[in-house]
Chain A
Amino acid sequence: SYDLTQPPSVSVSPGQTASITCSGDKLGDKYACWYQQKSGQSPVLLIYQDTKRPSGIPERFSGSNSGNTATLTISGTQAMDEADYYCQAWDSRSAFFGGGTKLTVL
């Protein structure tokens, strides 16, 4: 098993920058992905291969991954960004998700 640890919750004011971390053993040696899940909806791919954004994902979403920690950064956070965020990585031919972080935009 491979554990990915996220903070349960993060709060941010509108227009500010939110950072959500994901920690795992030597996570920087793997590719990290991030998914956004709004209430009652399916997850949506936000970031893949540590830093890449799929088409249609706003530029305010960015990612990094080094050492044991991957980070999702949301610049100029908007009310519509309030959601659960999950990191994900592959290890030994299995996929693992973090426990999720609830982002509250106050």
Chain B
Amino acid sequence: QVTLRESGPALVKPTQTLTLTCTFSGFSLSASGMCVSWIRQPPGKALEWLARIDWDDDKLYSTSLRTRLTISKDTSKNQVVLTMTNMGPVDAAKYYCARILKNDSGSYIFDYWGQGTLVTVSS
């Protein structure tokens, strides 16, 4: 059974760095074709993809947020960490992590999602 759980601060101050952890079970991020991604969703708004890390440590970032994001993995702990620098009010959102499976057709699929963690940005 695949599960993912996001953790991190519920409140950050403007200009601070946000660090979120995705702890997962039911799969190994060292297995070929496995990836983990972060996605966020401001209240009442659409999903926005942030970053992806692959089994071979390839890392992809949203073009618009690339300079502020860092994604990393600890395979032994089954964790993926996302940091986002210089947080501002527009970054307030629910942050989700999701497993991505690369299938035999080369399609990358968000097949399991965590429950998300709500982050507020305020002084």
Q: Are A97 and B103 in contact (CB under 8 A)?
A: no
Q: Is B52 an interface residue (CB 8 A)?
A: yes
| Residues A32-67 near B (CB distance < 8 A) | 33, 35, 42-45, 48-49, 54
Taken together as a complex, chains A and B put the C-alpha atoms of A37 and B30 apart, in Å, by 29
Partner of B49, one of A44, A49, A94, A99: A94
Q: Mark B87-119, 1 if CB is under 8 A from A, else 0.
A: 000000000101000010101111101111000
What are the residues of chain A within 8 A of B98 when measuring CB–CB?
Answer: 43
User: Residue of A at shortest CB range from B110?
Assistant: A45
Q: Is B62 an interface residue (CB 8 A)?
A: yes
- Measured as residues with beta carbon below 8 angstroms from the partner, the interface class of chain A is 20 to 34
Given the known interface contacts A1-B63, A42-B96, the answer about A48 and B109 at a Cβ–Cβ threshold of 8 Å is yes
Given the known interface contacts A49-B103, A94-B60, the answer about A54 and B48 at a Cβ–Cβ threshold of 8 Å is no
Given the known interface contacts A97-B46, A100-B47, the answer about A54 and B111 at a Cβ–Cβ threshold of 8 Å is yes
Q: Is B120 an interface residue (CB 8 A)?
A: no
Question: Distance (Å) between the CB of A75 and the closest chain B CB?
Answer: 23
Partner of B114, one of A1, A42, A49, A54: A42
Partner of A94, one of B63, B107, B113: B63
Q: Are B110 and A88 in contact (CB under 8 A)?
A: yes
Partner of A100, one of B39, B46, B63, B113: B46
Chain B: residues with CB nearer than 8 A to chain A?
37, 39, 46-49, 52, 60, 62-64, 96, 98, 103, 105, 107-111, 113-116
